Amino acid sequence: MTDAAVSPSPEYCPPFDRSSLTAYLQEQGIAFLTHDHPAVFRVEEGLELKAHMPGVHTKNLFLKDKKGRLWLISAAQDTVIDLKRAHKVIGSDRLSFGNETLLWRYLGVRPGSVTALGLINDPQQEVTFILDARLWQADIVNFHPLENTATTALEQAAFRAFLESLGRAPFVVDFERMERIV
């Protein structure tokens, strides 16, 4: 897969944006709570904002391997992810960051808004989802709702219900021990 082969047309619009994601969650009976806040582009920028929100906050990496396969890693915001070693655990070729065109085309988000909730825009499941074990075990997880001006909190059962509604089963990885658990 080359970037040119998947470049969206200028009028491309992903199937889901924040409001249609919210409607989808409501239709599915998935409980969530969304907090609006100023735009946050990096984990460090939002530490003060997030301090008052319960649950584990996330960082999300949109990646492409040397064979052109796409990957999304969602991890606790302070999890260290060694990309030079991670490919061996997740079964990919060497990894680098995916570009903005691919991010928009497959997850329907812009840089700074990468989120596991973007999987809703990947019905063909072109993006392999990797989840940090710490998020898999957390009571509450927090993600951007397809834009970085808000944070959506989901209890673990609700997050798993969201993934199930999409037919997605994540690969769960303990990044500290660099091993796959699920």
Mean pLDDT for 25-29 is: 98
pLDDT band at 12 (very low <50, low <70, confident <90, very high): confident
3-class secondary structure, 103 = helix
Q: For the whole model, what pTM was predicted?
A: 0.90
Look up the CATH number of the domain holding residue 113.
Answer: 3.90.960.10
Nearest to 75 by CA among 142, 149, 152: 142
How many structural domains comprise the chain? 1
Q: How far apart are CA 112 and CA 40, in angstroms?
A: 7
On whether the CB atoms of residues 85 and 123 are closer than 8 A, the answer is: no
CA-angle at 121, arms to 1 and 169, nearest 5°: 85
Mean pLDDT for 146-172 is: 97
| Domain span at 176 | 3-180
What's the pLDDT tens digit per position in 40-70? 777 676 666 666 789 999 999 999 999 999 9
What's the pLDDT tens digit per position in 122-137? 999 999 999 999 999 9
